[in-house]
Amino acid sequence: MRGTHVMGVLNVTPDSFSDGGRWLDPEAAVAHARQMVAEGADVVDVGGESTRPGARPVDEAEELRRVVPVLEALAGSVRLSIDTRKAGVARAAVAAGATIINDVSADLWPVAAETGVGWVAMHMPADPSVMQRHAHYEDVVTEVRDYLVDRAERARAAGVTDIWIDPGIGFGKTARHNLLLLRHLDQLVGTGWPVLVGTSRKTFLGGLAPERDGSLAPTGDRLEATVATTAWALAQGARMVRVHDVRPAAEAAVLARGSRDRTDSALPAGRSRRDGVTSGGGAR
């Protein structure tokens, strides 16, 4: 996938951190997906297990029961990804129409190789139930980058051709770690692997842009901060953003694309025009 893309989040779960229970009914889920496509989603990311900090694991049969009917109903109308950590769910999702495995465990590249679909490797230092206890890094940007490049190279060696890397904002990271990763996103972009970023409604935004009384802004009040960080990520060269509110992100993506197209012709020699990324030193 070339260019800049918006991945709309479709959580078919009772307990996701910002929209748990809203799209549990398959008909409501499918209608919401269609709405996101109408608003500009290029990919719909279907998830049947919450990975919020402290989340309880869901068994495979239940996760399949949640996601497969929704994927089957949407197959053919939009590119679909499956947000899962389970190989069995990933395989069934591909059979139902998913063409990307969005893998927060970054372990499932063999399934992507076997099924011939795309794969997102996200950084997460430990299982969601305990990951916030593992938010310790000497140099978060270098450690996350090196981990992701290693995973991407393994996947490429196994035969996966459509590979994405994602710093895993909010996964086993403090607010400071999240901000450092965003501020130095160019380090990830500079690897040459396409970068996906998901800041949507995450807790650190509630602290960055708090309520008037200084308390954490609730998930429903994090739209502006989501749009600001999404636009920042795109300006740094992220090629896909994962969001709950598609319309403003799609607009930010159009602006990012437009500003690149209009300014690339003015770049001095030696700078790549491909997506505005400086050439040289990349993984491919």
Residues belonging to the active site: 202, 242
Asked if residue 83 binds ligand HH2 (CB under 6 A), the reply is yes
Which of 5, 6, 9, 231 touches ligand HH2 (CB under 6 A)?
Answer: 9
Nearer to ligand HH2, 91 or 204 (CB): 204
Minimum CB–partner distance for residue 242 and ligand HH2 (Å): 5
Residue 235's contacts (CB-CB under 8 Å, 6 or more residues apart) are 256
- Segment near ligand HH2 (CB under 6 A); pick from 25-33, 48-56, 206-214, 216-224: 48-56
Q: Which residue is nearest to ligand HH2 (CB)?
A: 198
Minimum CB–partner distance for residue 272 and ligand HH2 (Å): 25
Distance from C-alpha of 55 to C-alpha of 49, rounded to nearest angstrom: 9
Question: How many residues in the shown chain lie near ligand HH2 by CB under 6 A?
Answer: 21
Asked if residue 17 binds ligand HH2 (CB under 6 A), the reply is yes
Distance from C-alpha of 137 to C-alpha of 126, rounded to nearest angstrom: 13
Site for ligand HH2 in 127-166 (CB under 6 A): 166
Asked if residue 191 binds ligand HH2 (CB under 6 A), the reply is no
Q: Where do contacts with ligand HH2 occur on this chain (CB under 6 A)?
A: 9, 11, 13, 16-18, 47, 50-52, 83, 102, 104, 120, 122, 166, 168-169, 196, 198, 242
